[in-house]
């Protein structure tokens, strides 16, 4: 419990405005607009990258769940900042996710494979966004 509170405090203080992160009301706009979620999520198995879930776990101080998760858990984020732009509560999600990645490295939990996968995701996301843009242009 103490560990959870300490972890929560560290992340909160890392955020540019410490109180703001607590205003998350789990609307899921971040996940709904995240291109990595779009290319990795599976509604039938509830798997894939989930920024909304990561913010919830952060607020609950669930350090182990976040840092002991699979490669996608925190390393799926490509820092495209879409979630920062759409969050109605002005939460800087990418700051939180950067903190989590730094913690993972500091505790020696990151794997080389994670970084390789992240490069792959970055390419996938670029392709996804490019395709979205093309579809939008076709509509207009
Ligand atoms: S968009 Fe913002 S308020 Fe909504 S779930 Fe994500 S972090 Fe929380
Ligand atoms: S910054 Fe990360 S979590 Fe946010 S939308 Fe982009 S890939 Fe998803």
Q: For 18-58, what is each residue's pLDDT tens digit? A: 778 889 999 999 999 999 998 888 777 778 899 999 999 99
* Residue 71 pLDDT greater than 70, yes or no: yes
- Is the shortest distance between the CB of 93 and ligand 2 below 6 Å? yes
- CA–CA dist 15, 35 (Å, integer): 23
Give the three-state DSSP class for 78.
coil
Kindly state if the Cβ of 21 falls inside 6 Å of ligand 1.
no
Q: Are 4 and 93 in contact (CB under 8 A)?
A: no
Angstrom CA distances, 33 to 27, 44, 85, 112, 133, stand at 12, 19, 10, 28, 14
Q: Is 105 in the pocket of ligand 2 (CB under 6 A)?
A: no
Mean of per-residue pLDDT scores for the chain: 84
Token pair for 60: 């609950």
Q: What six digits make up the tokens of 127? A: 């392709």
Is there a contact between 84 and 93 (Cβ–Cβ < 8 Å)? yes
Q: Is the distance from CB of 106 to CB of 21 less than 8 angstroms?
A: no
Can you name the CATH fold of 2-139? Fumarate Reductase Iron-sulfur Protein; Chain B, domain 2 (1.10.1060)
Question: How many angstroms separate the alpha carbon of residue 49 from the centre of ligand 1?
Answer: 15
Structure confidence by residue, pLDDT tens digits, 86-104: 999 999 999 999 999 888 8
DSSP state of 21: G
The residues spanned by each domain of the chain are 2-139
What's the half-sphere exposure (Cβ side, CA atoms, 13 Å) at 105? Answer: 9
- The response to whether residue 82 sits with its C-beta less than 6 Å from ligand 2 reads yes
């Amino acid at each position: 419990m103490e560990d959870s509170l300490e972890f929560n405090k560290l992340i909160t203080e890392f955020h540019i405005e410490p109180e703001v992160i607590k205003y998350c009301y789990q609307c899921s706009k971040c996940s709904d607009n995240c291109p990595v979620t779009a290319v990795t999520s599976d509604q039938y198995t509830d798997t894939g990258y989930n920024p909304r879930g990561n913010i919830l776990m952060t607020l609950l101080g669930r350090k182990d769940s976040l840092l002991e998760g699979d490669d996608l858990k925190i390393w799926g984020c490509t820092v495209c900042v879409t979630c920062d732009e759409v969050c109605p509560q002005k939460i800087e999600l990418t700051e939180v996710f950067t903190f989590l990645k730094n913690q993972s490295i500091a505790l020696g939990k990151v794997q080389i494979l994670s970084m390789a996968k992240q490069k792959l995701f970055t390419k996938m996301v670029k392709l996804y966004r490019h395709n979205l843009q093309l579809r939008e242009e076709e509509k207009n």
